[in-house]
Copies of this chain bind each other. A is one copy, B any other.
Amino acid sequence: MNTHYPSVLLENAVNEFAKLPGIGKKTALRLVLHLLRHDNESVSHFAHTLARLKEEIQYCNCCYNISDTEICGICADLSRDATTVCVVENVKEVMAIEKTIQFKGLYHVLGGIISPIDGIGPSDLEITSLVERVKNGEVKEVIMALSATMEGDTTNFYIFRKLQPYDVKVSIIARGVSIGDEIEYADEITLGRSILNRTPFDESYKLVK
Protein backbone atom coordinates (compact mmCIF):
# COMPACT_ATOMS: atom_id res chain seq x y z
CA MET A 1 0.00 0.00 0.00
CA ASN A 2 1.81 3.05 -1.30
CA THR A 3 -0.90 5.62 -0.98
CA HIS A 4 -2.92 5.85 2.19
CA TYR A 5 -5.67 8.15 0.92
CA PRO A 6 -9.04 6.48 1.35
CA SER A 7 -10.50 8.35 -1.63
CA VAL A 8 -9.28 9.25 -5.11
CA LEU A 9 -11.27 12.50 -5.03
CA LEU A 10 -9.51 13.43 -1.81
CA GLU A 11 -6.11 12.48 -3.21
CA ASN A 12 -6.67 14.50 -6.39
CA ALA A 13 -7.62 17.59 -4.43
CA VAL A 14 -4.60 17.17 -2.13
CA ASN A 15 -2.31 16.81 -5.15
CA GLU A 16 -3.69 19.97 -6.74
CA PHE A 17 -3.09 22.01 -3.59
CA ALA A 18 0.36 20.46 -3.13
CA LYS A 19 1.38 21.86 -6.55
CA LEU A 20 1.19 25.36 -5.11
CA PRO A 21 4.45 26.90 -3.87
CA GLY A 22 5.21 26.36 -0.19
CA ILE A 23 2.37 23.85 0.28
CA GLY A 24 3.35 20.26 1.04
CA LYS A 25 1.16 17.16 1.17
CA LYS A 26 0.37 17.58 4.88
CA THR A 27 -0.73 21.22 4.54
CA ALA A 28 -2.67 20.35 1.38
CA LEU A 29 -4.59 17.65 3.25
CA ARG A 30 -5.35 20.09 6.05
CA LEU A 31 -6.70 22.64 3.53
CA VAL A 32 -8.83 20.06 1.73
CA LEU A 33 -10.31 18.75 5.00
CA HIS A 34 -11.05 22.35 5.92
CA LEU A 35 -12.95 22.83 2.64
CA LEU A 36 -14.87 19.61 3.22
CA ARG A 37 -16.17 21.00 6.49
CA HIS A 38 -17.74 23.90 4.58
CA ASP A 39 -21.06 23.83 2.73
CA ASN A 40 -21.28 22.94 -0.96
CA GLU A 41 -21.97 26.51 -1.95
CA SER A 42 -18.82 28.06 -0.55
CA VAL A 43 -16.59 25.35 -2.05
CA SER A 44 -18.19 25.67 -5.48
CA HIS A 45 -17.83 29.44 -5.13
CA PHE A 46 -14.11 28.94 -4.49
CA ALA A 47 -13.83 26.67 -7.55
CA HIS A 48 -15.80 29.12 -9.69
CA THR A 49 -13.67 32.09 -8.61
CA LEU A 50 -10.52 30.20 -9.59
CA ALA A 51 -11.91 29.22 -12.98
CA ARG A 52 -13.00 32.80 -13.74
CA LEU A 53 -9.69 34.23 -12.55
CA LYS A 54 -7.62 32.60 -15.21
CA GLU A 55 -10.19 32.82 -18.00
CA GLU A 56 -11.17 36.44 -17.59
CA ILE A 57 -8.12 38.18 -16.20
CA GLN A 58 -6.69 40.91 -18.43
CA TYR A 59 -3.45 42.82 -18.54
CA CYS A 60 -3.35 46.59 -19.05
CA ASN A 61 -2.41 47.40 -22.66
CA CYS A 62 -0.16 50.18 -21.45
CA CYS A 63 1.66 49.02 -18.29
CA TYR A 64 0.89 45.24 -18.40
CA ASN A 65 -0.34 45.21 -14.82
CA ILE A 66 -3.23 42.87 -14.01
CA SER A 67 -6.44 44.71 -14.74
CA ASP A 68 -10.18 44.22 -15.22
CA THR A 69 -10.16 46.64 -18.13
CA GLU A 70 -8.06 47.20 -21.26
CA ILE A 71 -6.37 50.18 -19.63
CA CYS A 72 -5.81 49.88 -15.88
CA GLY A 73 -7.02 52.38 -13.33
CA ILE A 74 -3.56 53.84 -12.78
CA CYS A 75 -2.79 54.38 -16.49
CA ALA A 76 -6.27 55.85 -17.04
CA ASP A 77 -5.87 58.29 -14.14
CA LEU A 78 -5.14 61.65 -15.83
CA SER A 79 -4.02 63.20 -12.55
CA ARG A 80 -0.93 60.98 -12.53
CA ASP A 81 2.40 62.02 -13.99
CA ALA A 82 2.76 60.18 -17.32
CA THR A 83 6.36 61.40 -17.77
CA THR A 84 7.66 59.14 -14.97
CA VAL A 85 7.50 55.35 -15.33
CA CYS A 86 8.44 52.98 -12.53
CA VAL A 87 9.62 49.55 -13.73
CA VAL A 88 8.61 46.69 -11.43
CA GLU A 89 8.66 42.92 -11.54
CA ASN A 90 5.09 42.13 -10.68
CA VAL A 91 1.69 43.34 -9.51
CA LYS A 92 2.85 42.76 -5.90
CA GLU A 93 5.41 45.55 -6.25
CA VAL A 94 2.83 47.91 -7.78
CA MET A 95 0.63 47.29 -4.75
CA ALA A 96 3.54 47.80 -2.33
CA ILE A 97 4.59 51.10 -3.97
CA GLU A 98 1.00 52.35 -4.21
CA LYS A 99 0.70 51.75 -0.47
CA THR A 100 3.53 54.21 0.23
CA ILE A 101 1.53 57.04 -1.46
CA GLN A 102 4.97 58.45 -2.48
CA PHE A 103 4.75 57.81 -6.22
CA LYS A 104 2.46 59.67 -8.59
CA GLY A 105 3.79 58.40 -11.93
CA LEU A 106 2.86 55.33 -13.96
CA TYR A 107 4.20 51.77 -13.89
CA HIS A 108 5.58 49.21 -16.26
CA VAL A 109 5.17 45.61 -15.08
CA LEU A 110 7.82 43.29 -16.54
CA GLY A 111 6.03 40.12 -15.44
CA GLY A 112 9.24 38.70 -14.00
CA ILE A 113 12.96 39.24 -13.87
CA ILE A 114 15.82 37.94 -16.02
CA SER A 115 16.80 34.63 -14.44
CA PRO A 116 18.72 32.13 -16.57
CA ILE A 117 18.41 29.52 -13.81
CA ASP A 118 14.61 29.60 -14.13
CA GLY A 119 14.82 29.83 -17.93
CA ILE A 120 13.51 33.41 -18.00
CA GLY A 121 15.20 35.55 -20.64
CA PRO A 122 14.57 39.15 -21.75
CA SER A 123 12.11 38.01 -24.44
CA ASP A 124 9.84 36.49 -21.78
CA LEU A 125 9.43 39.89 -20.15
CA GLU A 126 7.69 43.12 -21.17
CA ILE A 127 10.95 44.84 -22.11
CA THR A 128 10.27 45.48 -25.82
CA SER A 129 6.99 47.14 -24.85
CA LEU A 130 8.84 49.33 -22.35
CA VAL A 131 11.31 50.45 -25.04
CA GLU A 132 8.38 51.17 -27.40
CA ARG A 133 6.68 53.16 -24.67
CA VAL A 134 9.82 55.27 -24.16
CA LYS A 135 10.35 55.65 -27.94
CA ASN A 136 6.81 56.77 -28.70
CA GLY A 137 5.75 58.46 -25.54
CA GLU A 138 6.27 61.41 -23.31
CA VAL A 139 8.36 59.43 -20.76
CA LYS A 140 11.15 61.58 -19.27
CA GLU A 141 12.30 59.32 -16.43
CA VAL A 142 12.35 55.56 -15.92
CA ILE A 143 12.76 54.47 -12.28
CA MET A 144 14.06 50.92 -11.84
CA ALA A 145 12.41 49.35 -8.76
CA LEU A 146 13.53 45.73 -9.01
CA SER A 147 14.77 43.51 -6.18
CA ALA A 148 18.31 44.15 -4.94
CA THR A 149 19.45 40.71 -6.12
CA MET A 150 21.78 39.40 -8.80
CA GLU A 151 18.79 38.84 -11.10
CA GLY A 152 17.46 42.33 -10.38
CA ASP A 153 20.83 43.87 -11.20
CA THR A 154 21.13 41.87 -14.43
CA THR A 155 17.70 43.11 -15.48
CA ASN A 156 18.60 46.69 -14.49
CA PHE A 157 21.68 46.62 -16.69
CA TYR A 158 19.89 45.00 -19.61
CA ILE A 159 17.08 47.58 -19.58
CA PHE A 160 19.55 50.44 -19.05
CA ARG A 161 21.41 49.43 -22.25
CA LYS A 162 18.16 49.09 -24.22
CA LEU A 163 17.09 52.60 -23.15
CA GLN A 164 20.46 54.28 -23.69
CA PRO A 165 19.73 55.32 -27.33
CA TYR A 166 16.73 57.34 -26.18
CA ASP A 167 16.48 60.70 -24.47
CA VAL A 168 15.31 59.37 -21.12
CA LYS A 169 16.73 59.55 -17.61
CA VAL A 170 17.11 56.13 -15.95
CA SER A 171 17.25 56.12 -12.15
CA ILE A 172 17.19 53.39 -9.53
CA ILE A 173 15.46 53.35 -6.14
CA ALA A 174 17.78 54.09 -3.20
CA ARG A 175 19.48 51.19 -1.47
CA GLY A 176 20.38 51.80 2.16
CA VAL A 177 19.79 50.95 5.77
CA SER A 178 16.13 50.05 6.33
CA ILE A 179 14.13 52.27 8.64
CA GLY A 180 14.16 50.67 12.09
CA ASP A 181 17.42 48.80 11.38
CA GLU A 182 20.47 49.19 13.57
CA ILE A 183 23.70 50.17 11.81
CA GLU A 184 25.56 47.47 13.75
CA TYR A 185 23.58 44.73 12.01
CA ALA A 186 23.43 46.18 8.49
CA ASP A 187 25.47 44.21 5.95
CA GLU A 188 28.55 45.97 4.60
CA ILE A 189 27.31 46.33 1.00
CA THR A 190 24.09 48.01 2.11
CA LEU A 191 25.96 50.21 4.58
CA GLY A 192 28.60 51.16 1.98
CA ARG A 193 25.89 52.02 -0.54
CA SER A 194 24.01 54.11 2.02
CA ILE A 195 27.16 56.14 2.70
CA LEU A 196 27.89 56.69 -1.00
CA ASN A 197 24.28 57.76 -1.62
CA ARG A 198 23.95 59.99 1.46
CA THR A 199 21.35 62.75 1.18
CA PRO A 200 21.50 66.34 2.43
CA PHE A 201 20.18 66.76 5.96
CA ASP A 202 18.61 69.74 7.62
CA GLU A 203 16.21 70.44 10.44
CA SER A 204 13.17 69.62 8.27
CA TYR A 205 14.39 66.04 7.62
CA LYS A 206 11.83 63.33 8.25
CA LEU A 207 12.18 59.58 7.77
CA VAL A 208 9.10 59.51 5.55
CA LYS A 209 8.16 62.66 3.69
Which residues of A are interface residues toward B (Cβ below 8 A)?
1, 4-10, 12-13, 16, 19-23, 27, 29-36, 38, 40, 43-58, 60, 65-68, 72-74, 90-92, 94-95, 98-99
B residues near A29, Cβ cutoff 8 Å: 92
Assess A4 versus B54: contact at CB under 8 Å? Given A20-B31, A92-B33. Answer: no
Task: State the CA gap A198–B12 with chains docked (Å).
Answer: 43
Task: State the CA gap A53–B33 with chains docked (Å).
Answer: 10
Decide: B47 and A43 in contact? CB cutoff 8 A. Answer: no
B residues near A48, Cβ cutoff 8 Å: 47, 51
Assess A74 versus B6: contact at CB under 8 Å? Given A49-B16, A50-B43, A53-B35. Answer: yes
Residue of B nearest to A13 (CB): B53
Judged by DSSP, the binding face of A is helix
CB pairs A–B below 8 angstroms (19 shown): A4-B99, A6-B65, A6-B66, A7-B68, A9-B53, A9-B56, A9-B57, A16-B46, A33-B90, A33-B92, A35-B54, A36-B53, A36-B57, A40-B54, A43-B53, A44-B54, A46-B50, A47-B48, A48-B51
Task: State the CA gap A72–B6 with chains docked (Å).
Answer: 7
7 interchain residue pairs of minimum CB distance: A47-B51, A43-B54, A47-B50, A4-B95, A13-B53, A47-B47, A16-B46
- A38-B54, A46-B50 given; name 15 further pairs at CB < 8 Å: A4-B98, A6-B60, A6-B65, A6-B72, A6-B94, A7-B58, A7-B66, A10-B57, A12-B52, A12-B53, A16-B50, A35-B50, A36-B53, A36-B66, A47-B50
Complex copy number for this chain: 2
* A171–chain B nearest beta-carbon distance, Å: 23
Decide: A50 and B52 in contact? CB cutoff 8 A. Answer: no
Among A7, A36, A73, A99, residue most surrounded by chain B Cβ atoms (within 10 Å)? A7
Decide: B36 and A44 in contact? CB cutoff 8 A. Answer: no
* A95–chain B nearest beta-carbon distance, Å: 4
Q: Which single member of B74, B91, B99 contacts A10 (CB below 8 Å)? A: B91
